[in-house]
A = this chain, B = another copy of it.
Amino acid sequence: MSTELRQRLFQALNEVTIVDPHTHIDPHAPASRNLAEILGYHYFTELCHASGMARERIEQPGLDPQEKVERIFQHLGPLNNTVQYSWFIEIARELLDFDVEVLLPEHAEPLWNRAAERMASPDWEDQVLRRSGLSRVFLTNDFDDPLAGFDTHRYIPCLRTDDLVFHLAEPRTRERLADCSGIDVGGLSSLRQALERRFLHFVSHGAKACAISLPPHFAPHPISEARAEKALDRLSRHSSETDAADREAVSHTVFWMLAELCREHHLPFDLMIGVNRGVYERGVHQGRDLFDSRMSLIQYRELFNAFPDVRFPVSVLASTSNQELVAHAWIFPNVLIHGHWWYSNTPSLIEADLAARLEAVPRTKVIGYYSDMYKLEFGLPKFAMFKRVLAKVLAERFVVDRGWGEERAVDLGLQVLQRNTQQVFALDD
């Protein structure tokens, strides 16, 4: 009965076409071209490595893609309990019509061939999007991305600003900024001009958000002009002389300026809060980052107060921050809740976090989910996972516990799954 109710709600949620508000899709190669591109996703390589597969076996230079797939298949056994593994099974079943419950090493070759055949289809990208129920997909673009050569309606640009905030002290970053903006940053005014040009470039190419990921200790605050000028000056003259305090002053200066530019250009500023980079030094590519649950959204108090007109869709890495996020969105008009990020993107954590969100935060302020995917094929299983949990929460906590009708529950589900993304990011259709 309760299982049937969940199933009915899932079906209703699964019928609509939606926008994925955060991914790492390369718009020039959005879908996978072979199975190695799917299994190369860091969720698989890091779990293989963490359960005993040498990094060198996975990341061997010049490794043939099919050989890489063979190797990984030999190591999938220890992962077959994980939800990440289930994404792969669902891709095989739903997109490649290869239906097995557990993948064995001998499946590597037939599945490789099946994938090669299907992915060679000229409309594979369209097929994947259609079967996934996705109409449009946000990107993660470097600040110097020309944003050319792809359909910016389907692949919505998003200005990612980690490099600007945390690496402007590196000569390479300043060169990239000079190259794309035509401005050498030497002080506050040239910095603002350069950033302003990138915002104009992005907005004119259809960007709908600015985004950044932030370490747990980050606590944004404004820097005085004099302090900022001094730090920028040192940094522009001899980066070897800049010290940690200068670099931090520059980080905060850039961050604050980005918030000002978001205000001027009416862009939501996605904050993805809580990642410590490079913790496991010898980990596989993208499998080195962790977090520190000793952080608080109170660190963003000054920012949220200073920019009442900027919408901040906030993602947190640790479930221990979820109640703080709920409380902030419950109080601050400009704080929105955004998806279930990374280490919190597994069913039991989503379920607990989502229940707390839906029962205390205005329904207009919860953006249900984004896939964070690198290849389009992951949209289907990741959104399906979320929709199942959403259906469970709606069934158990709204229909059963609170006596809601099913239609009302579905409508709430569709709002967080579909309508809020449209509205928060001002998508026109």
Contact bitstring A286-318, B, C-beta under 8 A = 1, else 0: 011111111111100100110010000000001
Contact of A292 among B291, B298, B343 (CB under 8 A): B298
Contact bitstring A38-64, B, C-beta under 8 A = 1, else 0: 000000001101111000000000000
**A window 332-379: CB within 8 A of B:** 332-333, 343-344, 346-349, 352, 355-356, 358-365
Q: How far is the CA of A142 from the CA of B46 in the complex (A)?
A: 38
Evaluate whether A356 and B365 lie within 8 angstroms (CB atoms) in the complex, with A283-B331, A323-B320 already known. no
A344 to nearest B CB, angstroms?
A: 7
Complex contacts, A327 vs chain B, CB 8 Å? 290-291, 343
A292 to nearest B CB, angstroms?
A: 5
Contact of A52 among B51, B319, B333, B412 (CB under 8 A): B333
Whether, in the assembled complex, A78 has its beta carbon less than 8 Å from a beta carbon of chain B, the answer is yes
Interface size on A, residues (CB 8 A): 81
Residue of B with least CB distance to A76: B362
Given contacts A80-B363, A101-B405, A279-B298, 11 further A-B contacts (CB under 8 A): A47-B330, A50-B329, A50-B333, A51-B333, A82-B362, A276-B298, A280-B331, A282-B305, A288-B331, A292-B296, A293-B323
Where the two chains meet, the residues of A that have a C-beta atom closer than 8 Å to any C-beta of B are 3, 46-47, 49-52, 78-84, 86, 101-102, 276, 279-283, 287-298, 301, 304-305, 308, 318-321, 323-324, 326-333, 343-344, 346-349, 352, 355-356, 358-365, 388, 392, 397-398, 400-402, 404-405, 408, 412
By the criterion CB–CB under 8 Å, are A346 and B359 in contact?
yes
Q: How far is the CA of A101 from the CA of B403 in the complex (A)?
A: 10
A224 to nearest B CB, angstroms?
A: 21
Contact of A304 among B280, B289, B344, B402 (CB under 8 A): B280
A303 to nearest B CB, angstroms?
A: 12
Complex contacts, A84 vs chain B, CB 8 Å? 360
Q: How far is the CA of A400 from the CA of B297 in the complex (A)?
A: 36
Complex contacts, A319 vs chain B, CB 8 Å? 323
Q: How far is the CA of A356 from the CA of B318 in the complex (A)?
A: 12
Residue of B with least CB distance to A389: B401
A191 to nearest B CB, angstroms?
A: 28
Complex contacts, A365 vs chain B, CB 8 Å? 50-51, 78
Q: Which of A297, A359, A412 is the most central at the interface, judged by chain B CB atoms within 10 Å of its CB?
A: A359
Q: How far is the CA of A170 from the CA of B50 in the complex (A)?
A: 40
Q: Which 4 A-B pairs have CB atoms at the shortest separation, nearest pair first?
A: A51-B362, A348-B355, A78-B362, A81-B363
Q: How far is the CA of A398 from the CA of B80 in the complex (A)?
A: 12
Q: How far is the CA of A292 from the CA of B358 in the complex (A)?
A: 21
By the criterion CB–CB under 8 Å, are A79 and B400 in contact?
no
Complex contacts, A352 vs chain B, CB 8 Å? 348, 352
Complex contacts, A297 vs chain B, CB 8 Å? 290
By the criterion CB–CB under 8 Å, are A78 and B363 in contact?
yes
Complex contacts, A343 vs chain B, CB 8 Å? 323, 326-327, 330, 360
Complex contacts, A330 vs chain B, CB 8 Å? 46-47, 50, 343
Complex contacts, A328 vs chain B, CB 8 Å? 290
By the criterion CB–CB under 8 Å, are B333 and A323 in contact?
no
Q: How far is the CA of A362 from the CA of B352 in the complex (A)?
A: 22
Q: How far is the CA of A363 from the CA of B280 in the complex (A)?
A: 21
Q: Could you show 7 A-B contacts with beta carbons less than 8 Å apart?
A: A81-B358, A81-B363, A83-B360, A280-B305, A292-B296, A318-B324, A323-B349
Contact of A331 among B287, B304, B358 (CB under 8 A): B287
Complex contacts, A82 vs chain B, CB 8 Å? 359-363
A310 to nearest B CB, angstroms?
A: 14
A176 to nearest B CB, angstroms?
A: 30
A315 to nearest B CB, angstroms?
A: 15
